[in-house]
Structure 1
């Protein structure tokens, strides 16, 4: 598909007011995207596990207005008006207006809540932007009832990407690929697609326990970090590596080789942070406790033979990945050996999920 196919020609219905609501999960990339072109196009493909428990719920209330010259909206988090969130939403609306031309026709109230603690260090942009994109698509579905479910999901992912790149991987689950590549047929730079190939039972109920090592604001934003890949001395090799790793992961997912899975995913996580450390200017988002946790995971895995591995996002927190069959022993290890490295002892137990859900509300 092309961008032009997401521009509606006409709407068959007219609507005046109402409310729509969606809950949408976060996701954790196994193969990382780092570096993007104009219009939120990734420099390399990525694949992620959709999470189940870490999610955002957004209620979008809309009412038609007389003046259609400007955007008119307010953002609320946990019931509190958040004017400082509104410039980011306005930027998002400007990017997507050509694809959802009804934006200036309505006054919007955006009410959002997260299941994970505020300022927990878990990126809420993926869940938040995908939930908002889905709400907007529900309005468009009312304007254009003949829209298919397949198109609805593709366009929701397309819109979410323009708010936050990784948000395009939160619409569906359980494994989502974003970025055009030769390994996955039907892959696209414009939206995420469900991973279409065989996946071994070993990966069907995978667990993700998120250690909240540091809940402070990152000293370098992801947007700045992505931009530092322009002119990065190792960028070209990194982009090639991601393509190669996706091909390798396809074989691993089919075979169920947990050891190979751990090696590839941990390498991807450390490569992401290596790109940060070798950019100009360089920066480090890992904290001392991040390294303490990683070393303890390695020692525990060697000692027990259990299939515990880790990945990292663009921050200090550690996502501990492991099969459900080994959950009891690994959770005990987390509670006894790793919890002390978390800020206020906080960690979140999550697992693979299957995408966003529309919520029924009484309009």
Structure 2
């Protein structure tokens, strides 16, 4: 599929006004995307768990306007008007205008809220931009009711990517691949696809307890971090490593090999942060408590022989991953040993989810 297929023809319906609402989850990458080419194209393929409880809920009210000379919208986040969100959404609208030519024909009010702290390393841009893209697609569906469900999801993922790269992995569940990989059928740089191959029951309802080590805004944005991969001395080796790790996960998913799964996932998390620490300028997003939690997880795993591991996004918070069948013992360890290292003792219990849902 190429981008021209997402450019619509003449719309069949006239719509004066309306309201649409979606909830879309965050996701946590197992193989990390870090570094991008122009047009939000990833420098390497990635695969993620779609989450269930960490999500953004967005409503868009729209009404036809008389002129179509500019984008017209207001943004409200958790009940408050947020003009500082407008530049990012304006950039998003400019990127997708050729694929959604109706955007200048309407005035929009965008109401959004998260079930988790904004800008704290839980991919709020992924859930936020995917929820907004889905609302835009619902408006397009009203203008062109003949859109198929499959095309709707594919284009929503495509649009999401142009707002925030990892957002394209939040439309569907439970495992989503983004970026071309020769061993994964249907994989694309343009949108995320549900992982098409066999997944062992060991990964059903996989648990993710998110330890909020630092709820503050990240010191370095992901966009800045991605840009620092240009000219990075280890960039090419990192891109190859990601592709190899994704290939190695294919038999792991099929066989349910938790030991190998944990090794790859932790290697990816530490590789991501190693790239940040070795870029110019360099930066460290882990906090002392991040390292303390990692060491406690390793010690507990050695002593208990239970399959618990960690991953990190581009932030200080720790995602503790473990199978549902071991939930009781591992969650007890988390409460007794790890929660004390969280900011104000806060954490979020999450698990694999099935993707975004429209709210009628």
TM-score by length of 2: 0.99
Give the whole-Å Cα distance in 2 for the aligned partners of 1:189 and 1:120: 26
Query: 1:119 offset after TM fit, Å?
Result: 5.2
Query: 1:286 offset after TM fit, Å?
Result: 0.6
CA contact (8 A) 2:119 2:218 kept: no
Query: 1:350 offset after TM fit, Å?
Result: 0.1
- Give the 3-state SS of the residue equivalent to 2:113 in structure 1: strand
Partner of 1:9: 9
Give the whole-Å Cα distance in 1 for the aligned partners of 2:162 and 2:292: 36
Query: 1:183 offset after TM fit, Å?
Result: 1.5
Matched, 1:241 2:241: yes
- Give the 3-state SS of the residue equivalent to 1:102 in structure 2: helix
Query: 1:218 offset after TM fit, Å?
Result: 1.6
Partner of 1:36: 36
Pair 1:255–1:282, CA change in 2 (3 A): same
- Give the 3-state SS of the residue equivalent to 1:267 in structure 2: helix
Partner of 2:342: 342
- Cα RMSD after superposing both structures: 0.8
Give the whole-Å Cα distance in 2 for the aligned partners of 1:108 and 1:53: 27
Give the whole-Å Cα distance in 1 for the aligned partners of 2:252 and 2:123: 28
Moved more, 323-332 or 291-300: 323-332
Partner of 1:319: 319
Query: 1:118 offset after TM fit, Å?
Result: 4.2
Partner of 2:99: 99
Matched, 1:179 2:190: no
Give the whole-Å Cα distance in 2 for the aligned partners of 1:347 and 1:70: 42
Query: 1:204 offset after TM fit, Å?
Result: 1.1
Deviations 1:233-260 (A, max 9, x none): 1111111111111110001000101010
Matched, 1:254 2:220: no
- Give the 3-state SS of the residue equivalent to 2:274 in structure 1: helix
Matches within 5 A, 1:49-128: 49-118=49-118, 120-128=120-128
Give the whole-Å Cα distance in 1 for the aligned partners of 2:117 and 2:292: 23
Equivalent residue pairs, number: 360
Q: Could you list the runs of 5+ residues in structure 1 that have no partner in the other structure?
A: none
Matches within 5 A, 1:138-157: 138-157=138-157
Partner of 1:308: 308
Query: 1:122 offset after TM fit, Å?
Result: 2.3
Give the whole-Å Cα distance in 2 for the aligned partners of 1:267 and 1:287: 18
- Give the 3-state SS of the residue equivalent to 2:314 in structure 1: coil
- Give the 3-state SS of the residue equivalent to 2:196 in structure 1: coil
CA contact (8 A) 2:120 2:317 kept: no
Query: 1:162 offset after TM fit, Å?
Result: 0.3
- Give the 3-state SS of the residue equivalent to 1:216 in structure 2: coil
Give the whole-Å Cα distance in 2 for the aligned partners of 1:118 and 1:208: 18
Query: 1:121 offset after TM fit, Å?
Result: 4.2
Query: 1:117 offset after TM fit, Å?
Result: 3.3
TM-score by length of 1: 0.98
Give the whole-Å Cα distance in 1 for the aligned partners of 2:340 and 2:284: 22
Deviations 1:307-359 (A, max 9, x none): 00000000000000000011111111111110110000000000000000001
Give the whole-Å Cα distance in 2 for the aligned partners of 1:78 and 1:285: 26
Matches within 5 A, 1:182-201: 182-201=182-201
CA contact (8 A) 2:212 2:346 kept: yes
- Give the 3-state SS of the residue equivalent to 1:208 in structure 2: strand
CA contact (8 A) 1:183 1:246 kept: no
Pair 1:279–1:119, CA change in 2 (3 A): closer
Partner of 2:291: 291
